Amino acid sequence: MTGESLIELEGITKTYGQGTAAFQALKGVDLSIAQGEFAAIMGASGSGKSTMMNILGCLDTPTSGTYRFKGVEVQAMSKDQRSLLRRRYLGFVFQGFNLLARTSALENVELPLLYRGEQKALRREAAMKALDLVGLGPWADHTPAELSGGQQQRVAIARALVTEPEVLLADEPTGNLDSERSIEIMELLSQLNRDGISILLVTHEAEMAAYAGTIVYFRDGLIERFERGHRNGARVTA
């Protein structure tokens, strides 16, 4: 169930380079995401969707425009404040699982809490809870090499969830998975959304985007259109 506004973008632009070498990746984007929403961002390569995700995740800053997160202007924050926002409110899942190869699933999930300086017992308890949430409690002691691709992505999702973020940003999370494992991951993301976590998904696959309640189509640095409606059902295009 969606609620009050979580993210508001007004006139967001992003330019890389200067002079004749300048490239405008975003050309004035307006976007609003509600608390509890599941939104998918789609578009061809070079459309601006990945740049948009980096800005939403506070991994990059816009050249101009306004980005508000829970009513606070992000671009007015210091670098340390943006880093704190990422750690406290955002979780990230990428196409590559980015797991430490010689480290158990439990220890991989613990990492964000280790960086926070949490005590070992608290880290272990939270990591096990996150692994149980994605259905991998029995595999806590397994290394990535002992897990399937789908299981590795579940570990990556558990690692993103261990800090109890309000928003999960997933960038092509099924890109390295077969169809069956992809459906597993999307069903998991859908359940997390039903449990109250806002989901922002970047994908080029329409079948994966269909799990979202809102689809935002990017083209040449601008939002081309929205589709809002029920998941895997009829949609209204705006």
pLDDT exceeds cutoff 60 at 236: no
Q: Distance between CA atoms of 5 and 3, rounded to whole angstroms?
A: 7
- Does residue 3 have a pLDDT over 70? no
CATH of 5-237, one of 3.40.50.11740, 3.40.50.300, 1.10.1740.10, 3.90.480.10: 3.40.50.300
Of 8 and 1, the one with more pLDDT: 8
**Tens-digit pLDDT profile for residues 162-197:** 999 999 999 999 988 999 999 999 999 999 999 999
Q: Is the pTM of this model over 0.85?
A: yes
How many other β-carbons are positioned within 10 Å of the β-carbon of residue 163? 19
pLDDT, position 231: 55
pLDDT band with cut points at 50, 70 and 90 for residue 235 = very low
Residue 23 scores a pLDDT above 50? yes
pLDDT (mean) for 122-130? 96
pLDDT digits (tens, 9 = 90+) for 28-79: 999 999 999 999 999 998 899 999 999 999 999 999 999 999 999 998 999 9
Question: What is the pairing mode between strands 90-94 and 167-171?
Answer: parallel
- Round the CA-based radius of gyration of the chain to a whole number and report it: 18
What CA–CA distance (Å, rounded) separates 55 from 117?
27
pLDDT band at 115 (very low <50, low <70, confident <90, very high): confident
* pLDDT classification of 233: cutoffs 50, 70, 90: very low
